[in-house]
Amino acid sequence: MSELNAMGEQSQPEGPQGLVDARESWVLQGRNLKRRFTQGALDVAVLNGVDIDLAQAQSIAVVGASGSGKSTLLHLLGGLDALDEGEVHLMGQSLSGLDARALGDMRNRYVGFVYQFHHLLPEFTAWENVAMPLWIRRESSSRAKALACELLDHLGLSARVLHKPSELSGGERQRVAIARALVTRPACVLADEPTGNLDRQTAREVFELMLQCTQSLGTSFVVVTHDQELAQACDQTLFLKSGVLHKLL
């Protein structure tokens, strides 16, 4: 399993014989993922055996109709929701059977989350919001601030580090949210409609910025989006229909 080096960067995962292979060692895998929701007489199968593979520095877009289960899929991949059947492997380790603390540690180390609404804490500055995952990891305040400010600079927000969310534009707030997801140098980021609350031009800029991070930081992305144009900019587009993922060529 990979570790963070002294600079806080993600090392490569090791293969079965201890050999590093960026394309053969999957960051995230889902096999035969099934999820259904039952309430009273209502019984709805949302996912009917989904398979998905995410390699290092790869971007995958998941598209589909509203209510098709895209958000549910992200929650299962990130260990935020329980599977009815199937298996999720993160950095080669199964999430099944992990207790809440171990699962939380896995998420904090290897997964970042971005949502349609930024969910920034209004009383904290941009750098403090970004530093939150590092504080949870018990990093020192000075190191957390340095890493947060470095990433905000990387995302073009060096002049906004002391601003609170109310003092930022919509696009700036979402970039801060992306920085917060990336500050631990996770292996992958799961993004649920990350540009859905932005105007067209800002959405395109934010989306392009996310994709640039696959190259500059080596981070993988699974992005749920309704925007076909943005989806086509990813390495692969998958269509979720009737609980099954279909690859779009």
Residue by residue, DSSP assigns 98-167 as --HHHHHHHHHHHEEEEESS----TTS-HHHHHHHHHHHTT--HHHHHHHHHHHHHHTT-GGGTT--GGG
* Per-residue pLDDT, 125: 96
Cα–Cα dist 164/144, whole Å: 17
- The answer to whether 219 and 186 are in contact (CB under 8 A) is yes
Q: What is the pLDDT of residues 202-236, one digit of tens each?
A: 888 888 888 888 888 888 999 998 888 888 889 99
Count CB atoms within 10 A of the CB of residue 222: 27
Note if the pTM is more than 0.75: yes
Cα pseudo-dihedral 3, 223, 22, 243, rounded to 10: 110
- Direct distance between the N- and C-terminal alpha carbons of the chain, in angstroms, rounded to an integer: 32
Contact call for residues 187 and 22 (beta carbons, < 8 A): no
> Which structural domains are found in the chain, ordered by start?
56-79+99-248 (3.40.50.300)
- On the question of pLDDT at 51 being above 70, the answer is yes
Could you tell me the two tokens for 7? 């600079």
Per-residue model confidence as pLDDT tens digits over 178-195: 889 888 888 999 999 888
Query: Any idea what DSSP says for residue 231?
Result: H
Q: Return mean pLDDT, the chain.
A: 83
3-class SS of residue 232: coil
Check residues 44 and 180 and name the one with the higher pLDDT: 180
CA distances from 139 to 8, 129, 146, 183, 214 (A): 11, 14, 11, 12, 25
